[in-house]
Amino acid sequence: MTEANEVIHAIGRRKTASARVHMKPGTGKIVVNKREFEEYFPTMAERGYALQPLVITGTKADFDIYALLDGGGISGQAGALRHGIARALEKYKPEFRAVLKGAGMLTRDGREKERKKPGRPGARKRFQFSKR
């Protein structure tokens, strides 16, 4: 367990997005790339996904979070933020590890976009076969 006013740093990643999370005890204020959380993530689905670690541990109003997101799209960035918050919570209180790991929040989602292969229109798609 860390000290009361110490800032906890963690990095979360998903697809090509990465999130640098700075978390400290506070009132529940979340700032993402110098913007309000609700402004940065306009849909409830992305907000809910990013806040899952705080909800599952019951610490939603206990921390102020400042995050810097980079790369990817909105969905990937929400996943990276979720991963970063989960890692920061684990650093703050190691007892949270079992809950977070059981929910699959400490595992990095390693699914990346597959590269396009030569002689094909996409990664796996083939041109239409013509017998004659």
| CATH number of 28's domain | 3.30.230.10
Confidence class for position 5, pLDDT limits 50, 70, 90: confident
- How high is the mean pLDDT of the chain? 93
93 pLDDT higher than 90:
yes
Instruction: Report CA dihedral (51, 78, 97, 11) to the nearest 10 degrees.
Output: -130
Residue 125 lies inside a defined structural domain of this protein: no
Residue 116 lies inside a defined structural domain of this protein: no
pLDDT value, residue 132? 86
Residue 44 lies inside a defined structural domain of this protein: yes
Q: How many domains does the chain have?
A: 1
Residue 120 lies inside a defined structural domain of this protein: no
Amino acid identity at 25: P
> What is the extent of the structural domain holding 32?
8-102
Residue 16 lies inside a defined structural domain of this protein: yes
**Region of residue 33 (left: phi > 0; alpha: psi -120 to 50; beta: else):** left
Residue 124 lies inside a defined structural domain of this protein: no
Structure tokens at 78: 């929400």
Q: Give the C-alpha separation, 5 to 47, whole Å.
A: 26
Q: Give the C-alpha separation, 24 to 3, whole Å.
A: 10
Q: Give the C-alpha separation, 106 to 89, whole Å.
A: 10
79 pLDDT higher than 80:
yes
Percent of the chain with pLDDT over 90: 90
